[in-house]
Structure formats: structure tokens, C-alpha cells
Amino acid sequence: MIARIDTEIAVIGASLGGVLAAWQAAQQGRRVLLAAEYAWLGGQLTSQGVPPDEHPLIESGGASASYMAMRTALRAHYLAQPGFRDNTAMTEGCNPGDGWVSRLCVEPAVAAEYIEQLLAPHIASGRMRILRGVRLCSAQRAGRTIVSATVIDGEGLRTDIHAPWFLDGTDTGALIKAAGLPYRLGKEARSEFGEPDAPETADRNDQQPVTVVMALRREASASAAAAEAPPGYAFWSRYLVPHYGYAQFSEYIPGSGRGQAVRLPLFGSGATLDLWRYRRVVSAANWQPPRSEVSLVNWAQNDYALHPLLDGGMDEADVVAAARELSLCLLHWLRTEAPRPDGGAGYPELALAPDVLATPDGLAQQVYVRESRRIIGLACLSQADILPGGATATPGSDADSHNVGVAWYNMDIHPTVVSGHGVNARVRPFELPLGSFIPADCNNLIPACKNISVTHLVNACTRVHPAEWLIGEVAGLLAVFALGCGQPLAAIHGSAELRAAFRQQLRAAGIPLEWDRALLARLPDIQH
């Protein structure tokens, strides 16, 4: 027997964007169903175990009002805890973990609880329903319209979800594929968009690597005797990173250009950048009495780049399993062979911290996904739209009237799984066009995560927390607007009047539609 649910807006996938899409739609009074696969809602912020990757202006703006409110609330949570002392040294602002990759290194459980509280009023009112522990297994489409999506739980119970609007809130663009819609994946050829850093030949398999994050706690002494090495350890302990030449298990990471490498010590002090404090979420100096430190290991050393996650001939579950083993192999190396400054080897005081990620083994509930299937939209954001020194839309112009949000992050591409191409290049703050949210081949699907219409290169900039959060909000509000006006997405895109009305709704919901010029003026070295 198959259960059936009817709703106004169905969000398939509880990624960070998916959650915010559902929240914004419910905020506007619409009935929403959110299908969630993992115990924690919120994708990369929670179940994937990745503290926020943010741009340099985030303390002052360049994100939606609700994102800024989340940052304030998480800091307030820590400041209210008995024993917490803000002794942040690595970044500006109160940084609970005092990690240096983010100004807001927080424990994933704290972020997960915030999301639950954010959604709670809408669940209580009946506007939002969450199906937990379900994954998408199929979608049914009639011509250009998705009729229903079917999810399945751990016991095999299937539920058909019917709605006039479907939002793909998965980290992989799973609904796009299930509905049989065309999509982009991996690298486009240079000839398609004229991107300087694109390859001569397109390759769908040349995707960014995935990572299974692990939570490590550093104790005062050895936590336990070293366990037997995982089965893959002999391979990974000898593996050299292609095009870079250094060992996967080492103190080296890719630099800003292809083939360039940077050495980071495992443990550092003062202003020295090190691996341990990279994504540290518990800093001993911020607690009295001091707590044992915890770091979320999402390093180049456990990036799994042997096979693509999506559509590469290897089942996704098998890729994830291989990535999990890589992380466990890295742990064994850290505990037994990692070089110490005193000439010794290994840090046996490092141990998995299952409580931090709410899993039995201390590995994240979900693999960290950097790259998704992406819709083929009415517009596609390419490298030319984000290069420093590029032309920006004149306020009030036709191009400006299509903007529906802001984004900014380096073009951060980890060495990809086929070519090994990696780069971390500067880009300018940029805007997201409405057309990147509208599929060319479907009437009632809206991307709500890393799956908007952008190229592989631009995806490296829009995949991070503030951008995905905003993308989700725009997607939810677009579905609400389309329900209200009764017009197709293409008609909204093509009508100056409808676009203006939608943009007004975005502003009212706290979505910045363009970068504040005064804010950008604080960074004179950024060409914008």
C-alpha cells in the first residue's frame, strides 16, 4: 500500500537550502511538505558537519536577514552558556570554536537545534509537515509538469507526494534526475560559455570530490590503544595526489593554483594557520573550566577524489562508503604516523567524538557534497559574470531588474576527480539572476540548493552556506509568488511588472537583491 499526501508546495530534500525554502513558504502562509532523509535538518551546516564558509563582509551584510539572524542567535546561545568565555583570537566576532576558516565555527548540534526551533511554529500551526527518514525513489511527470514524487522510508513504506509545485532541496539534484529533466553536471567545455578556466572538452564525471567529515576530540593523553588499520590504509598511506605530487596523508594541501601546494602544520599556535584549528568547533580557551577541544575534519587529506559521486558508473552509496573509509584511514594515520615536532610519530590523544555529530562512529550523518546536478535554466551564470573587474548591472536597468539575490565566495574548486584541476581564485561580489531559478524544460520545479543554473566554475562560489541559504529562500518565495499570481515561471521571468512585484516580495522577506555599494567600498582591493 502506498500512502498519499497532497500539499501546496513539496520540498524534496532537507538540505540547508531545502529547509529555508520550506520555512519561507510556510512564513507566507502556504501548506508545505518537507521530505528529510537524515536525522538532522540543514545539510552542510548540520548533518554534513561543515561550519559556515562565508565571505569577508559577512559581519556587516551580504546575506539575507534570516541568515544574519541565525548568526546572531547561535552566538547568543554560546554567550548564555555557563562557563563560556569569548576569547576569540583567530577571526573577528565571537567565534565559539575559534576556527580560522569561518567566523562562526559552532557545534553542528547547536545549529540543528536552531533549525528545529525555526520550523517549530509552522509545524505546530499545521502549515508545515516533515516526513523524516525518507529518501526520494521516483518522480512522475506528465509532459512539462511533475505530477508527484515518491519517497520511501527505512521500512519500505512508500508515500506519493502530490503538489502543484515541487522544489528540489536535495544536495545532489536528485529530483531533477528522477523527473527525467536535462541537467548540467561536472565541467562544461570552454566553448559553451567562453569561460577562461573551463577545459577544452566537457566532462560530466569531472566533479568536485566529496568528503565524509569526522569529529575528533583531543584529550590530554592517549585515548586508547591504536586500532587495527582499516582495509584501505595500505593504499591511502602511499597515495600521491595527482598533479601535486605530495602524499594524501601529509601536512600539504592544494594551493591557489593548479599544481601549487601549501604546507600547514597539524597543530599550531598564535597566528600560524594549522589544520587542527581550521574547523575547530570547541576551543579550550573559550571555556572555564577548559573543555577538551573538538575539530571537524574536512581537510584536503580526506577529500575522496577517486570516483565522482554522481552518474559516474559507481553507485552513490559505494562512493560514500569509500569516502568513509578514507576518513577512517586518515584517523589511523593521525594517531600512528603523523609527524610530531619532537621527531616522534602519531597523536594517540585524538579520538572520534560520536556525540558531536550524533552518530555511533563520529562520522557525519551525510557525505559533504560540493557539486550537484544543475538545472538548465532560462539563464546560466558563468565565470564571465563573476570575474573581478566585470561589468555590473546598472541600478534600474533591465539586467538589474532580474536580480533576486547576492552571493560571494572564492572560486574554490578542490582537485576534481578526473583532471585533478584545483583552483582557489578571487571573484567579485555578484548577483543571482531570476532565470537561474527557472528550468527551461519544466513548469513546476524550482531548484532550492546547489542545483540552480550555474556552471561548474560558478557552482564553486554558490555552494557555500550564505548563498545556499538565500537560494532556498528565493526558491520558496518564488513558488509562493507563482501560486499567488497563477502565472507560469517563464511568464514571471518575461514580465517587467511581475518581476518587480516578485522582487518587492523578496525585499519584504529580507533578501538583498544587489550588493550595497557602501559595504563594497570597505574593500578597495576588490574590483566590483
Q: Do 126 and 8 contact (CB within 8 A), yes or no?
A: no
Q: Do 15 and 469 contact (CB within 8 A), yes or no?
A: no
227-231, long-range: CB within 8 Å, 24+ apart, which pairs? 227/332, 229/329, 229/332, 229/336, 230/325, 230/328, 230/329, 230/332, 231/325
Say what the alpha-carbon torsion angle 480, 483, 486, 491 is, to the nearest 10 degrees.
40
Residue 525, pLDDT > 80, answer: no
DSSP state letters, 65-120: HHHHHHHHHHHHHHHTSTTB-----SSSS--TT--SS-S----HHHHHHHHHHHHH
Q: Taking Cα atoms as reference points, which of 8, 13, 44 lies closest to residue 29?
A: 8
Confidence (pLDDT) at 259:
78
Q: Taking Cα atoms as reference points, which of 42, 41, 43, 23 lies closest to residue 33?
A: 23
Burial of 397 (0-12, 13-18, 19+ CB in 10 A): exposed
Grid cell digits, residue 346: 602519531
pLDDT band at 335 (very low <50, low <70, confident <90, very high): very high
Residue 486, pLDDT > 70, answer: yes
User: For residue 23, which phi and psi values (nearest 5 degrees)?
Assistant: -65, -45
pLDDT band at 221 (very low <50, low <70, confident <90, very high): confident
**pLDDT tens-place string over residues 25-79:** 999 999 999 999 999 999 999 999 999 999 999 999 999 999 999 999 999 999 9
User: For residue 446, which phi and psi values (nearest 5 degrees)?
Assistant: -130, 130
pLDDT band at 408 (very low <50, low <70, confident <90, very high): very high
Q: Do 275 and 251 contact (CB within 8 A), yes or no?
A: yes
Residue 315, pLDDT > 70, answer: yes
Confidence (pLDDT) at 400:
72
Confidence (pLDDT) at 398:
57
Q: What is the mean pLDDT of residues 186-192?
A: 98
Confidence (pLDDT) at 260:
85
pLDDT band at 363 (very low <50, low <70, confident <90, very high): very high
Amino acid at 380: C
Confidence (pLDDT) at 494:
97
pLDDT band at 401 (very low <50, low <70, confident <90, very high): confident
**pLDDT tens-place string over residues 248-275:** 999 999 987 777 899 999 999 998 999 9
**pLDDT tens-place string over residues 3-27:** 999 999 999 999 999 999 999 999 9
Residue 359, pLDDT > 90, answer: yes
Q: Do 404 and 503 contact (CB within 8 A), yes or no?
A: yes
The sign of the CA dihedral 315, 365, 466, 53 is negative
Q: Where are the beta strands (DSSP E) in 310-381?
A: 350-352, 374-375
Q: What is the mean pLDDT of residues 127-144?
A: 98
Give, for 148, the enclosing helix (H) or strand (E): strand 145-153
Q: What is the mean pLDDT of residues 481-491?
A: 97
Q: Do 514 and 401 contact (CB within 8 A), yes or no?
A: no
Residue 246, pLDDT > 90, answer: yes
Residue 219, pLDDT > 80, answer: yes
**pLDDT tens-place string over residues 441-455:** 999 999 999 999 999
